[in-house]
Amino acid sequence: MQTQTLSKPRLDRDARREAILDVAQEVFLEEGFAAASMSTIAARLGGSKGTLYNYFKSKDDLFNAYVEHRCLWQAESVLQKPDETPLEALNRVARAYLAFVTEDLTLRNFRLVVAEAERAPHISRIFYETGPARGLARMAAFLTDLQATGLLDLGGDAVGAAGDFLGLIQYRYFKARLCNYVPALTTAEIEAESARAVRTFLRAYGAPAR
């Protein structure tokens, strides 16, 4: 059974701005950032460029908002903390993160940015700072919270531990999915791989038994 694609984020209360971000995503993915134009986005929205510029002052500004929109949804969906044990939280986050980084839309966005990185390095910097860098910081904060419960010993380097954790989770499947080498992961594959990553991470960062 294939995993279901994560639902499209609906975080912004301004429905018009939300619609712009949705259409911008379609255009960016279809045409690439360099070829995409504000005129094309406005036309597909059924409005004028003037209306578009009321929300975003430039294509760079629109792209930044789009990336932030996606990454905010990722952070909220992955790092929310329901009533669960620290170990359950760690396993849940591992599963959610692996599902997110290997889903089709995430991969398409990543390919888009990489394709533009040489011609438009400022775009890749926007993506990295708004996406992976911010996600790493939030994961470090999440692990620090778990350390306070006695589950982990991060050795004074929460960011390094967060990098190790994310690397363990995605190492086997991210590049394979990025290259279309393997199909979308099944629920069983996600559960097995994330559990393996958590076990390995705990061997390195699990707090010694008292």
Report yes or no on 100 lying in a domain.
Answer: yes
Report yes or no on 52 lying in a domain.
Answer: no
Please write the tens of the pLDDT for every residue from 88-102.
999 999 999 999 999
Rounded to an integer, the average pLDDT of 119-136 is 86
Please write the tens of the pLDDT for every residue from 177-210.
999 999 999 999 999 999 999 999 999 999 987 6
Q: What confidence score (pLDDT) does residue 80 get?
A: 63
The residues facing 206 across adjacent strands are: 152
pLDDT over threshold 50, residue 144: yes
Distance from C-alpha of 119 to C-alpha of 113, rounded to nearest angstrom = 10
Report yes or no on 163 lying in a domain.
Answer: yes
Rounded to an integer, the average pLDDT of 107-111 is 90
Report yes or no on 48 lying in a domain.
Answer: no
Rounded to an integer, the average pLDDT of 106-116 is 88
Give the least confident one: 1-15, 72-86, 90-104, 156-170: 1-15
Q: Quick one: DSSP state of residue 32? A: -
Where do we find the tokens 């995605």? 170
Q: The domain spanning residue 111 has which CATH number? A: 1.10.357.10
pLDDT over threshold 50, residue 2: no
Report yes or no on 40 lying in a domain.
Answer: no
Report yes or no on 98 lying in a domain.
Answer: yes
Report yes or no on 196 lying in a domain.
Answer: yes
Cα 148 → chain centroid: 25
Rounded to an integer, the average pLDDT of 100-115 is 90
Residue 204: helix, strand or coil by DSSP? helix
| Counted domains in the chain | 1
Report yes or no on 28 lying in a domain.
Answer: no
Expressed as residue numbers, the domain containing 153 is 59-205
